[in-house]
Amino acid sequence: DIQMTQSPSSLSASVGDRVTITCRASQSISSYLNWYQQKSGKAPKLLIYAASSLQSGVPSRFSGSGSGTDFTLTISSLQPEDFATYYCQQSYTTPRTFGPGTKVDVK
Amino acid sequence: QVTLRESGPALVKPTQTLTLTCTFSGFSLSTSGMCVTWIRQPPGKALEWLARIDWDDDKYYSTSLKTRLTISKDTSKNQVVLTMTNMDPVDTATYYCTRRIATRTADYFDYWGQGILVTVSS
């Protein structure tokens, strides 16, 4: 199975901050990398697919980049509704695997 | 409008078999390319992919759980059923069903059910 890691595991930020989360795969996954946002008690929500494509309805302050083994999710200007946990997920092989998550909380 | 909803018991005893049903609308599992996947999340922990069933009845399972899982579909009822045998307290989690979309260059879960919390306890 492909292992996914994320860093940091948590971060504290303020509204307006630029936030960057990194995801790394244990082997090359091309651009088969997705990002999800999960708020407490809710199901995950797709933000970015294929490493850099913005899901319909997702604000443009979210962006993704990377290919191969290293990927980044960036929030250009953090908004109050963005405090949540973020997961990366590879869709290169089955079984699909998720990263351990990055929790973004209030500084 | 695509929706998915999980149903099943909230509490099971150790060693029992868990049966969960995903009832969906807004798409058909008889349509080429459509797939439903089960994912779980223990309290406070990360997401774990469990199993997937495709429109053509192909089935895929978690490497670590494949001996305990069975996934099936009833296309006429728009339902997918997941069974997990020999339940243990470590299987306590919220279980989600999701729709998987696959294209030539992308593959992702675009719609999720609200999830069902299953507690394993005697």
B16-38 pLDDT, tens digit per residue, is 999 999 999 999 999 988 999 99
Question: What pLDDT is attached to residue B105?
Answer: 87
Q: Name every chain B residue with its beta carbon within 8 A of the beta carbon of A45.
A: 112
Is A71 at the interface with chain B, CB within 8 A? no
Tokens, residue B21: 């049903």
pLDDT in tens, A59-79: 999 999 999 999 999 999 999
User: Is A45 at the interface with chain B, CB within 8 A?
Assistant: yes
- Judging by beta carbons within 10 Å of its beta carbon (0-12, 13-18, 19+), is residue B46 exposed, middle or buried? middle
Given a cut of 50, the residues of chain B with pLDDT beneath it are none
- Predicted confidence at residue B43, as pLDDT, reads 97
Distances (CA, A) of B44 to A37, A101, B28, B96: 15, 10, 33, 15
